[in-house]
Amino acid sequence: MVCIVCGRPTGRTWLCNTCRTPYQRVWVIGEREGVLQRLVGLYKFSRAKAAYKDIGDLLLAVLPELPGNTVIVTVPTVYGHIRERGYDHMLLIANYVAKKRNLKCQRLIGRKTDTKQRQSTAIQRAKQAKSAFEIRGKIDSDKIYLLIDDVVTTGATIKYAAKALRDAGAKNVWVAVVARQVLK
């Protein structure tokens, strides 16, 4: 495995010892390549709505037993993408995982700006991510917030989504990601 922030080999975790992040633990299904790349592509861009169960099952397989006070939260999808697709792809997965594990799923994070990211450069994306999120709901510092996202590239989006939760009072923020995009 490699660190999702710096890409250095880590052994058995997705976070190295030196990267400082607003979240404490990370699970990733795998690199965005091969079968996983195809599955994510179909699900995100080809309206293969039913694939949420397949991706959800893969996530369930990499996640350990989660404490009962874990709340599943999604990184919000840009509204335009939901409209194009006809469904909120990460919310479907989050609800599925929550149901299977008997946990709550809450839509706690909203987007302040609705800028499309697909064509942006890495620097633009990082800038947008920094001020993109706001918390819409009550944060309980005793709970664990498990943030679910589809693809991690630079880690900026997940970092600022986690930071928004921390700034609102969350102490424990964990992260589960479908695929890690290797920067080329």
- Tally Cβ neighbours within 10 Å of residue 125: 19
| Contacting residue, 2, 14, 16, 173, with Zn ion by CB under 5 A | 16
Does 60 participate in binding Zn ion (rule CB under 5 A)? Answer: no
| Contacting residue, 5, 28, 108, 176, with Zn ion by CB under 5 A | 5
Nearer to Zn ion, 16 or 51 (CB): 16
The site for Zn ion, by CB under 5 A, has a size of 5
Nearer to Zn ion, 3 or 73 (CB): 3
Nearer to Zn ion, 20 or 83 (CB): 20
Residues ≥6 apart with Cβ < 8 Å to 180: 2, 4, 14, 28, 30, 31, 32, 151, 152
Nearer to Zn ion, 3 or 51 (CB): 3
Residues ≥6 apart with Cβ < 8 Å to 138: none
Q: Quickly list H helices, the chain.
A: 34-45, 51-62, 79-85, 89-101, 122-130, 156-167
| Contacting residue, 2, 11, 13, 19, with Zn ion by CB under 5 A | 19
Distance separating alpha carbons of residues 164 and 60, to the nearest angstrom: 25
| Contacting residue, 3, 28, 173, 177, with Zn ion by CB under 5 A | 3
The residues binding Zn ion (CB under 5 A) are: 3, 5-6, 16, 19
